[in-house]
């Protein structure tokens, strides 16, 4: 009997070890930025765990965008560069295990690095938006930006006046328009909703196709430019 218990315990440990190793390997199989991105943004560098674009003039506001699950932060380089050109310090973090939810407090690093920035807007793509909601529900943020994402019941903004921008794609096969509508009660009454007609999930970054997504009716450049336009217009309204 003792030998049986011993072998059973060893089997459980081995199975757990295999599961942990398998999970780790899965998290390292990431979505890399596509070649298209290199044509639009010539210099994307990751330093001290961040992809950061600084505007020419000293900014009053900054934007932090958590990446989607297993998506490399460089894939959001075009969005970050365009927002910086509009005058907003913009950073995309490299998160633990390539899963933003395991590193939701990461925004604190950039906020501490740039103490002269008065207003910080925290957002994210897909699972990154969930991490942003977790951060914003515990720490003060000037506003939250959801890109194909939404808050959960545990991070509800329903009883707050936090400014929120939620951008989603009509053809998104992962964060569907139906899911956005279903979770709308968790948003604040200061929420702006914007649907990208013909847009899908993967084109919130520039990293190619994503499993489970639907084909977009517009190009990735068209979707990226619309995202930038909507965010910058919203930021201007909030900072006016």
pLDDT one-digit tens code per residue, 60-75:
999 999 999 999 999 9
Residue 1 lies in a domain: no
Residue 218 lies in a domain: yes
- Length of the chain counted residue by residue: 240
pLDDT at 24: 62
Compute, in degrees rounded to 10, the torsion defined by CA atoms 66, 174, 98, 136.
30
Rounded to whole angstroms, how far apart are CA atoms 202 and 190? 27
pLDDT at 15: 64
Rounded to whole angstroms, how far apart are CA atoms 180 and 101? 19
Contact in structure between 223 and 196 (CB atoms under 8 Å): yes
> Among 79, 83, 78, which Cα is nearest to 61's?
83
Contact in structure between 239 and 119 (CB atoms under 8 Å): yes
pLDDT at 22: 59
Residue 136 lies in a domain: yes
Residue 3 lies in a domain: no
**Number of separate domains in the chain:** 1
Residue 10 lies in a domain: no
pLDDT at 240: 76
Residue 6 lies in a domain: no
Q: What angle do CA 69, 214, 176 make, to 5 degrees?
A: 70
Containing structural domain, residue 174: 31-239
pLDDT at 98: 87
Q: Which residues of 82-114 are buried (b: 16+ CB within 10 A; e: fewer)?
A: bbbebbbbbbbbbbeebbbbebbebbeebbeee
Residue 75 lies in a domain: yes
pTM given for the model: 0.92
pLDDT at 78: 98
Contact in structure between 146 and 167 (CB atoms under 8 Å): yes
Q: Which residues are within 8 A (CB) of 135 and not within 5 positions of it... i.e. 6 or more apart?
A: 104, 105, 107, 122, 141
Looking at the DSSP assignment, which residues form a beta bridge with residue 61? 119
pLDDT at 47: 87
Rounded to whole angstroms, how far apart are CA atoms 119 and 137? 16
Query: Which CATH number fits the domain that encloses residue 200?
Result: 3.40.50.1820
Residues of the chain below pLDDT 50: none
């Amino acid at each position: 009997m003792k030998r049986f218990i011993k072998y059973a315990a060893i089997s459980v440990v081995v199975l757990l070890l295999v599961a942990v190793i398998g999970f780790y390997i899965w998290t390292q199989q990431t979505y890399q930025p596509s070649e298209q991105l290199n044509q639009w943004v010539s210099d994307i560098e990751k330093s001290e765990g961040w992809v950061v674009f600084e505007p020419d003039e000293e900014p009053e506001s900054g934007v932090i965008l958590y990446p989607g699950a297993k998506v490399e932060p460089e894939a959001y380089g075009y969005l970050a560069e365009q927002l910086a050109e509009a005058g907003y310090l913009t950073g995309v973090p490299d998160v633990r295990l390539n899963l933003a939810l395991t590193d939701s407090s990461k925004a604190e690093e950039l906020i501490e690095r740039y103490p002269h920035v008065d207003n910080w807007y925290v957002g994210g793509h897909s699972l990154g938006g969930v991490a942003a909601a977790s951060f914003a529900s515990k720490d003060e943020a000037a506003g939250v930006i959801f890109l194909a994402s939404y808050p959960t019941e545990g991070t509800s903004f329903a009883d707050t006046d936090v400014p929120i921008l939620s951008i989603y794609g009509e053809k998104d096969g992962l964060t569907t328009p139906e899911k956005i509508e279903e979770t709308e009660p968790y948003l604040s009454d200061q929420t702006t909703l914007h649907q990208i007609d013909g847009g899908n999930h993967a084109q919130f970054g520039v990293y190619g196709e994503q499993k489970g997504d639907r084909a977009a009716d517009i190009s990735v450049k068209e979707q990226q430019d619309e995202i930038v336009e909507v965010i910058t217009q919203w930021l201007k309204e909030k900072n006016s």
